[in-house]
Amino acid sequence: MPATLVAPHAPTTVLVEELSAADRVVALYASDMPSRYRLQGPADPNVLGWIAQGATRLGREETWRRASYLLGHRKLSMRAMTTPEIDRRHKERFPSTRRLDLMESMAATSLLWVRPVPATRNHPAVIDGPCPKCDGAGKLWAIWVIDADADWTEEGYGPCWVCQPEGGAA
């Protein structure tokens, strides 16, 4: 007979102030919030409850991962650069555009009620699939302008601006 019993895994509650705007979109999408919900006055506690519910349901890591992919997809779609593969993976996570649009607006509004704590940052945008710009190489051959006035340029590889984190930091 085993000396110890393993307690069933209890999900850790995630606090709303620990979640960035994109995290909150993901959390709301995964929550029980109805897709036709209307705000009940200022600082609607139901919405905050659903943010915590969705993030707790997915877990912190999965919420962050989906938020990074959401930002990556947004970055590409703003430039009409998504591929069928990247769109397909996005659709798997967020089948309803209408629900996603609503959650985006609810998440943005919730930032006014509960500010994220300073340690909370948006996660880097991550492309879920082969990068349509560099084909997954992560770098681009380009002509870099060193000094426009002096007509001084150099050719070489630089980090891909589409799929590599901005500023080169991980």
Contact positions toward Zn ion, by CB under 5 A? 131, 133-134, 160, 162-163
Nearer to Zn ion, 83 or 109 (CB): 83
Q: How far is the CB of 128 from Zn ion (least distance, A)?
A: 13
CA distance 147 to 63: 43
Burial class (CB in 10 A: 0-12, 13-18, 19+), 125: buried
- In the bound state with Zn ion, the residue whose beta carbon lies nearer, of 33 and 163, is 163
Query: Least CB distance from residue 160 to Zn ion, whole Å?
Result: 3
Residue 67 CB, shortest distance to Zn ion, in Å, is 20
- Least distance to Zn ion from the beta carbon of 161, Å? 8
Q: Of the two residues 60 and 75, which places its CB atom closer to Zn ion in the complex?
A: 75
> 103-109 long-range CB contacts below 8 Å, 24 or more apart?
103/24, 103/25, 103/28, 103/29, 103/33, 104/25, 106/24, 106/28, 106/33, 106/37, 106/39, 106/47, 107/21, 107/22, 107/24, 107/25, 107/28, 107/51, 108/21, 109/39, 109/47
Closer Cβ to Zn ion, 101 or 135, answer by number: 135
